[in-house]
Amino acid sequence: MSRIAAVTEKARQEGNKLLIPYLVAGDPGLLETVKLMHALVANGADVIELGIPFSDPASDGPIIQRGVERSLARGTTLVDSLEVVREFRQIDQATPIVLMGYLNPIEIMGYEIFIQNATKAGVDGVLVVDMPPAESTELHGQLQAAGIDTIYLVSPTTNADRAAFIAEYSSGYLYYISLKGVTGAALTDYESVRKNIEALRKLTDLPIVIGFGIKDGTSARAMAELSDGVVIGSALVAKIAKLAASEGISEEQISFTIAIIKEARKEINKIV
Amino acid sequence: MSEVKAMAFDGPDDSGHFGPYGGIFVGETLIAAVAKLEEVYKELSGNEEFWRQFDKELKYYVGRPSPLYFAERLTTHCGGAQIYLKREDLNHTGAHKVNNTIGQALLAKHMDKTRIIAETGAGQHGVASATVAARLGLECHVYMGAEDIVRQAPNVYRMKLLGANVVSVDSGSRTLKDAMNEALRDWATNVDNTYYIIGTVAGPHPYPKLVRDFQCVIGREAREQSLEQIGRLPDALVACVGGGSNAIGLFYPFLKDECVSMYGVEAAGHGLDTNEHAAPLNAGIPGVLHGNRTYLMTDDTGQIMETHSISAGLDYPGVGPEHAWLKDINRVKYVAATDSEALDAFHKLTLLEGIIPALESSHAIAYGMQLAADMDVSHRIIINLSGRGDKDIETIATVEGIEL
């Protein structure tokens, strides 16, 4: 059983919701990212989505764009991002890590080398934002063969037939985008999310997590009530932004930065 | 021509690929919009009434057909093949861009979209989009890099006069590629009522195909005019390539004519041996950006590189996927002209023919002059004069240290 399957299965059995923070590898620095990842786990993260920085993040809103720019300004590469995973795995062998990013860095590294390196580093899942299933055949097959979960997105604009196909094609979990827009946009229409998740439930047994626009404990709880878990990205990256200029970070800074995740865990755990 | 080779020109396939290039690489939110566009376009491309309306707009609003002009003094100066210019500079708004925006705005109308968005670098596509939006009464937002807004102030004002909202883009390198990212973000956010008019033969399928189809009017006219004025097909075609819409528009109707050689001229900036150019077909590698797989200016870690060209319209790190394919199958030869070669050609054409070319088109003129000089006097070449150069005179004055 993959690490993701183990974690999601355990959560299902225990009736817990998944909490999945997203942060950009190398923001504010590579060592800091590793430290933050451990702290996120200690404060309730079940899975970590690690963003691979790319110069042209066309699906991301301004907060994550700036995080990516900060990371790239320090020269972070895909090799470095994988190094972050490897470093994290020295201490934590249990928490699944999903790489999230855009295709070009992977394409330029070459699929085979990427998968070899990702496997060695301890990556559990890959979500390529600008690679829909129809364009994924080669990379998808190679990832599956290597035992790495392939996670795809479903959005409010995805019709039922396509959603069924995507669910069938995905492994690990299904990532539902809560709104029409980019990461960090304002999520207001809870009712349409509820309806769409209900419809998705009929199509798949995969765990469904909701992301985009979840910005605090309250929205985390509301979305987790409708699904199997939530992804929190921009709200965390906005806090990380305040660390950018500092050399090394203290325990106190870390605890302040990830307070949003701690808060989300607390709220989500209130769901019975 | 062999059957296999002829088939190579019938792209894209049903999934939007030209060989390994093209495709649909966008976030899930946009998949439905792209699929809908494909469905509507497929239906309309067989609809005679739609094309009649398109032709009518081109005739009475744009002023087509544009002349095929024999550049006699330029020919004498080069001392080789006779040089003809396809005068896209004489179109309404001063460039070929309007052929595409008319077509796409008609599509937007047909799809009942009330709001159009566009990205622009030099401002030509932005102006052409704002123009048709005004003509058809549509709301228009144009994304433009903050750097480009400074470089192209007159076009920014033009767009505003036409009623468009010009949105300054501050992310990334603050140029055309970032404007395109921002337009994609807007589209994902306002996907229900918004039509995205992409300005070149790039982006996710079906854009490379539909933009090509609208721009093909250039090549169809040139073919007819050539037969009428020269009595045969030309020996060579030359066009500048940024994203490549004017080039594909000229080339496509001639692709199956084996006797016609074709040259796409990229921007060599300060030189192909420097990192300061915008010539992915000459010096790039295949990758994925802005919805399609194509040749890109990307570094060895997969980040998109900043490009340089004196011409803002060629200053883009990618190129249309059909050009990538035509390069690989050796149907079109892709060459490059530097900033200074383009400047030199700009002055030559201005002084010898009384035609001020756009800096983009000056790259085609620069290579076309060399090519003509190396060809026999019995040969005929057509250079696509894709736009007029009035918009560039400030840039040129600045480069040459002249104060206006």
Query: Could you read off the pLDDT of A151-198 as tens digits, one per residue?
Result: 999 999 999 999 999 999 999 999 999 999 999 999 889 999 999 999
**Among all residues of A, which ones are annotated catalytic?**
49, 60
Q: What is the pLDDT of residue A84?
A: 98
B23 min Cα distance to partner chain A (Å): 7
Among candidates B23, B32, B185 on the partner chain, residue whose Cβ is nearest the Cβ of A157: B32
| Residue B20: per-residue pLDDT | 97
Mean pLDDT of chain A, nearest integer: 96
| Confidence band, pLDDT 50/70/90 cuts, at residue B3 | very low
Does B285 contact A108 at a Cβ distance shorter than 8 Å? yes
Q: How many CB atoms lie within 10 A of CB A218?
A: 12
Distance from CA of A69 to the nearest CA of B (A): 7
Contacts of A71 in chain B (CB under 8 A): none
Nearest neighbour of B29 by CB, restricted to A61, A79, A180? A180
Interchain CB distance below 8 Å, A54 and B302: yes
Cβ contact, residue pair B289, A155, below 8 Å:
no
Of A54, A56, A62, the CB nearest to B177: A56
CA distance B235 to chain A (A): 38
Percentage of chain B exceeding pLDDT 70:
98
Contacts of B180 in chain A (CB under 8 A): 58
- In chain A, the domains with their CATH numbers are 3-268 (3.20.20.70)
Q: Which token pair is B356?
A: 């001020």
Q: Which two tokens stand for residue B5?
A: 């080779």
User: Which ipTM did the prediction report?
Assistant: 0.96
Find the CB nearest A177 among B23, B28, B302: B28
B27 and A59: CB-CB below 8 Å? Answer: yes
Tell whether the model's pLDDT for residue B7 goes beyond 70. no
Q: Which of B172, B189, B302 faces A109 most closely, judged by CB atoms?
A: B302
Any alpha helices (H) in B140-216, and if so which ranges?
Answer: 146-151, 153-161, 176-189, 207-215
Mutate to test the interface with A, among B13, B14, B15, B25 (most CBs of A within 10 A): B25
Chain A with chain B: Cβ pairs closer than 8 A:
124
Contacts of B188 in chain A (CB under 8 A): 59, 180-182
Question: For the segment B40-56, what is each residue's pLDDT rounded down to a tens digit?
Answer: 999 999 999 999 999 99
What does the pLDDT read at residue A244? 67
The model's pLDDT over B374-387, given as tens digits with 9 standing for 90+, comes to: 999 999 999 999 99
Contact between chains at A157 and B291 (C-beta distance less than 8 A): no
Which tens digit of pLDDT belongs to each residue from B235-285?
999 999 999 999 999 999 999 999 999 999 999 999 999 999 999 999 999
Q: Do B28 and A69 touch (CB under 8 A)?
A: no
Note the pLDDT tens digit of each residue in B276-304. 999 999 999 999 999 999 999 999 999 99
When scoring A100, A130, A138 by the number of chain B Cβ atoms within 10 A, the one with the most, hence best to mutate, is A130
B23 and A135: CB-CB below 8 Å? yes
pLDDT tens per residue across span A133-157: 999 999 999 999 999 999 999 999 9
Q: Is the pTM of this model over 0.90?
A: yes
How far is the alpha carbon of A185 from chain B, nearest alpha carbon, in Å? 9
Per-residue pLDDT, B212: 98
Say if A182 is an interface residue toward chain B (CB within 8 Å): yes
Q: Which of A82, A100, A108, A166 to mutate to test the interface with B (most CBs of B within 10 A)?
A: A108
pLDDT of amino acid B153:
86
Selected catalytic residue, list B38, B86, B97, B261: B97
Is the peptide bond between B206 and the residue preceding it cis, with omega within 30 degrees of 0? yes
Please indicate whether, in this complex, the C-beta atoms of B171 and A62 are within 8 angstroms of each other. yes
pLDDT average, residue stretch A114-121: 98
> From the CA of B246, how many Å to the nearest CA of chain A?
25
Q: What phi, psi does B221 have (nearest 5°)? A: -65, -45
In the residue annotation, B340 being an active-site residue is answered as no
Å between A201 CA and nearest CA of chain B: 19
Interface touch A107/B289, C-beta < 8 Å: no
Question: Which of A129, A135, A196 best tests the B interface by mutation, with the highest count of B CBs <10 A?
Answer: A135
CB-CB: which of B32, B285, B289 is closest to A158?
B32
With a cut of 50, say whether residue B2 has pLDDT above it.
no
pLDDT of B4 over the 80 cut: no
Question: What pLDDT score was predicted for residue A247?
Answer: 67
Q: What is the mean pLDDT of residues A70-97?
A: 98
Q: How far is A13 from chain B (nearest CA, A)?
A: 31
Contacts 24+ apart (CB under 8 A), B369-374: B369/B74, B369/B77, B369/B78, B369/B83, B369/B345, B371/B81, B371/B236, B371/B238, B371/B263, B372/B75, B372/B78, B372/B80, B372/B81, B372/B82, B372/B83, B373/B78, B373/B79, B373/B80, B374/B80
Mean pLDDT for B222-227 is 98
- Check CB contact under 8 Å for A130 and B23: no
Q: DSSP string covering B241-296, please?
A: -SS-HHHHHHHGGGTT-TT-EEEEEEEEET-TTSS--B-HHHH-EEEEETEEEEEE
Q: For B124-157, what is each residue's pLDDT tens digit?
A: 999 999 999 999 999 999 999 998 898 788 899 9
Would residue B97 show up in a list of annotated catalytic residues for this protein?
A: yes
Contact B28 A104 (CB under 8 A): no
Of B25, B31, B189, nearest to A185 by CB-CB distance is B189
CA–CA dist B279, B317 (Å, integer): 8
